[in-house]
Amino acid sequence: MKFPKNFIWGAAAAAYQIEGAYNEDGKGLNIWDIYSKDPGRIAHGENGDIACDHYHRFKEDIKLMKEIGIKHYRLSLNWTRIIPDGTGEVNQKGVDFYNQLLDTLIENEIEPMVTLFHWDYPYELHCKGGWLSREASDWFENYAKTCTELFSDKVKYWMTINEPQVFVGLGYYSGLHAPFYKLCKTDLMRMTHNILLSHGKAVRAIRKYAKQPPIIGFAPTGPCVTPENETKDSIEIARQQSFEFSENGYVFSNSWWGDPIVFGKYNDKAFELFGDSLKPLIKDGDMEIISAPIDFYGANIYSSSSVGITNGYPSNEYIGCPRTAVEWVVTDDALYWATKFLNERYKLPILITENGMACHDWVHLDGKVHDPNRIDYTARYLKGLKRATSENIDVMGYLYWSILDNFEWNSGYDKRFGLIYVDYQTQKRTIKDSGYWFGNVIKNNGENI
Ligand code: BG6
C-alpha cells in the first residue's frame, strides 16, 4: 500500500482562529469580532481578538512550518481585512499583510492553498441581511474577484467556502456559533440557496480572473457512515446513509450541498421534503451558476459513525471507546470510507482539507510537548487513507488540522488541535512531538504509515 508520488501533504488554519489583530491597520469587523463578546457565548468568555497573534508573528510561524517540513499550507483570508465593509473600498494594509504572508510561504517552498471564507462574515453585510439576502452572492463574487486579482499570481489552489454545514448549522440553526441565531426552516433554506449561489459565482470569478490556471474546490464536512462489516449489503447501507438527510438535519448533510454543486440539481429528497419553499428560490440560471465546474472535492473529516447509528454523530453505542478532547470518537477507517463514497458519488479528486485531533496538551517538565495520542490518531486515520489511495480512489492529499493550537470557536482556547503548541500568555511556540512525527511522514511520503 502506498500514497501516490505527487500526494499533497500539509496543514491548515483559518484567519479568525489564529490572526488576532482584530482592529488593526484598517480592518473592518466581522460577526465573530462582534458576537463572541456577547456574555456567555464562548467558553471562559474568550474571543479571537489576539488569538495566536499570527498577524504579527507569521514569519516565525512559517519558519516553524518549514522546520516541520510542511509543504502545503491551507489558510483563509479574512474578508474584512481586505474589504472592511464587505463591499467597496479595499484596505491596502490588509492586502500588504497577505502579500507578505504569501511571499514568505513561497520563499520557504510552502505552497499556499487559500480558502476565501472560513466563517468570519463581515458585520456590515450581516446587518444588510447577510446570507439571507440574495445580494449576498454578488457581494461574495466581488470579494472572490478582488482576491483573485490581488493574489492569483501567487495562489493556484482555491477553496470558496469552509464547511457550509457547520457555519449554517451552528451559526443560524442551533445558535452555538456567531451570530448565535436559531432561524426557521424557510429562512435557512433561503440562506443555503444563497450560499450555494455565492460558491458558484466565486468559482466563476476565480476561473475568469486568475493569472494562472486555478485549481478550485470547496471544503465541506458531513456525516461519514462506515459499514458494520465489509459485506456488499452493509457497504451499500453505509453509502446511502452517508448522503441521506432528514427534515431537521439537512443543513448538516453532504448531499444538500454537494449535489447542487456537482450535479447542478438539488437532491430529490429536498423537493420531497420542502418543494413548496425551495422551488420559488431557484431562479433561471441559478443551478448552472451553482454547478460551475470545480476541480476537487474537499472533505473535513474527524470522525465517523457506524451503520445503524442514524442520528449522525456517535453516542451511547460507543461507550468507553477512545474519544478526543472535543469528545469525538476515534474511528480509524473514517478517511477510507469517506473518500471512497465521496469519490464514487461526485467523481472528483478528493482533498482531505481537514483532519486532526484535539488533545489535552501542555509543555512537560522537559520543555517538550509529548502528544502520543495525536500521533496514534493520525497514524490510524492515515492508514485508512493509504488503503484508499492503494485502491486507486482518487485522493489528492491530506491537510492536518491544525498547524497551530488556536481559537476553537465556542470552545475558546482549551481545545488544542495544533502540531505546534501555543502558550497564550507569552505567545511562545513549541513544536509538539506530533509535529516532528508528521514531518517525517511527509518526508517519507507516508511510507512509515
Ligand atoms: C472544523 C472547522 O469544523 O473543525 C475548524 O473547519 C475547526 O475551523 C475544526 O477548528 C475543529 O472543530 P471544533 O468544532 O472543535 O472547533
pLDDT in tens, 199-216: 999 999 999 999 999 999
Q: How far is the CA of 21 from the centre of ligand 1 (A)?
A: 21
Q: How many whole angstroms separate alpha carbon 303 and alpha carbon 314?
A: 9
Which are the contacts of 191, defined by CB distance < 8 A and separation ≥ 6?
Answer: 131, 132, 168, 172, 183
Q: Best mutation site among 18, 74, 118, 166 for ligand 1, i.e. most ligand atoms within 8 A of its Cβ?
A: 166
Q: How far is the CA of 402 from the centre of ligand 1 (A)?
A: 9
Indicate the SS3 state at residue 323: strand
Q: How far is the CA of 190 from the centre of ligand 1 (A)?
A: 25
Q: Best mutation site among 409, 410, 413, 415 for ligand 1, i.e. most ligand atoms within 8 A of its Cβ?
A: 409
Q: Reply yes or no on whether the pLDDT at 156 is more than 90.
A: yes
| Ligand 1 binding pocket includes 163 (Cβ within 6 Å) | yes
Listed residue (170, 209, 146, 185) closest to 32, CA to CA: 170
Q: How far is the CA of 32 from the centre of ligand 1 (A)?
A: 14
| Beta carbons of 252 and 169 less than 8 angstroms apart | yes
User: Which uninterrupted H or E stretch holds 124?
Assistant: helix 123-127
Q: Reply yes or no on whether the pLDDT at 244 is more than 60.
A: yes
| Ligand 1 binding pocket includes 148 (Cβ within 6 Å) | no
| Ligand 1 binding pocket includes 151 (Cβ within 6 Å) | no
**Atom nearest to 163 CA in ligand 1:** 6
Mean pLDDT along residues 249-276:
95
Q: How far is the CA of 372 from the centre of ligand 1 (A)?
A: 21
| Beta carbons of 14 and 401 less than 8 angstroms apart | no
| Beta carbons of 211 and 152 less than 8 angstroms apart | yes
Q: How many whole angstroms separate alpha carbon 281 and alpha carbon 308?
A: 34
Q: How far is the CA of 408 from the centre of ligand 1 (A)?
A: 6
Listed residue (113, 121, 47, 114) closest to 80, CA to CA: 121
- Rounded to a whole number of angstroms, the CA Rg of the chain reads 21
Listed residue (117, 45, 106, 101) closest to 72, CA to CA: 106
| Ligand 1 binding pocket includes 76 (Cβ within 6 Å) | no
| Ligand 1 binding pocket includes 415 (Cβ within 6 Å) | yes
H, E, C per residue of 227-288: CCCCCHHHHHHHHHHHCCCCCCCHHHCCHHHHHHHHHCCCCHHHHHHHHHHHHHHCCCCHHH
Q: How many whole angstroms separate alpha carbon 433 and alpha carbon 374?
A: 9
| Beta carbons of 351 and 397 less than 8 angstroms apart | yes
Mean pLDDT along residues 425-439:
98
**Atom nearest to 119 CA in ligand 1:** 8
Q: What is the per-residue pLDDT for 234? A: 93
Q: What is the mean pLDDT of the chain?
A: 96
> Sheet holding 8-12: strands in order across?
215-219, 157-162, 111-117, 72-76, 8-12, 395-401, 350-355, 297-300
Sequence-distant contacts of 126-130: CB under 8 A, at least 24 apart: 126/31, 126/179
| Ligand 1 binding pocket includes 411 (Cβ within 6 Å) | yes
Mean pLDDT along residues 386-407:
98
43's grid cell: 467558553
Which are the contacts of 233, defined by CB distance < 8 A and separation ≥ 6?
Answer: none
**Atom nearest to 401 CA in ligand 1:** 9
**Atom nearest to 221 CA in ligand 1:** 3
Q: What is the per-residue pLDDT for 403? A: 99
Strand 428-431 to strand 420-423: parallel, antiparallel, or no bridges (unpaired)? antiparallel
| Ligand 1 binding pocket includes 162 (Cβ within 6 Å) | yes
Q: What is the per-residue pLDDT for 248? A: 86
DSSP 34-102: HHTTSTTSSGGG--SSSTT-HHHHHHHHHHHHHHHT--EEEEE--HHHHSTTSSS---HHHHHHHHHHH
Protein residue with least CA distance to atom 14, ligand 1: 408
Q: What is the per-residue pLDDT for 308? A: 60
Protein residue with least CA distance to atom 12, ligand 1: 408
Which are the catalytic amino acids? 163, 354
Protein residue with least CA distance to atom 16, ligand 1: 408
Mean pLDDT along residues 91-99:
99
Residue written as grid cell 490556471: 213
Q: What is the per-residue pLDDT for 320? A: 80
| Ligand 1 binding pocket includes 43 (Cβ within 6 Å) | no
Indicate the SS3 state at residue 141: helix
Which are the contacts of 218, defined by CB distance < 8 A and separation ≥ 6?
Answer: 159, 160, 161, 162, 164, 199, 261, 294, 297, 298
Q: What is the per-residue pLDDT for 307? A: 75
Q: How many whole angstroms separate alpha carbon 244 and alpha carbon 229?
A: 20
Indicate the SS3 state at residue 334: helix
Mean pLDDT along residues 4-24:
98
Q: Tens of pLDDT along 32-63? A: 999 999 999 999 999 999 999 999 999 999 99
Q: How far is the CA of 285 from the centre of ligand 1 (A)?
A: 33
Residue written as grid cell 429528497: 269
Q: Which amino acid is at 288?
A: E
Q: What is the per-residue pLDDT for 312? A: 47
| Ligand 1 binding pocket includes 120 (Cβ within 6 Å) | no
| Ligand 1 binding pocket includes 405 (Cβ within 6 Å) | no
| Ligand 1 binding pocket includes 166 (Cβ within 6 Å) | yes
| Beta carbons of 84 and 26 less than 8 angstroms apart | yes
**Atom nearest to 406 CA in ligand 1:** 10
241: pLDDT confidence band, cut at 50, 70 and 90?
A: very high
| Ligand 1 binding pocket includes 300 (Cβ within 6 Å) | yes
Q: Reply yes or no on whether the pLDDT at 311 is more than 70.
A: no
Q: Which residues pair with 431 in a beta bridge?
A: 420
447's grid cell: 511510507
Separation in Å, CA 364 to CA 415, 421, 430: 17, 11, 11
Q: How far is the CA of 281 from the centre of ligand 1 (A)?
A: 30
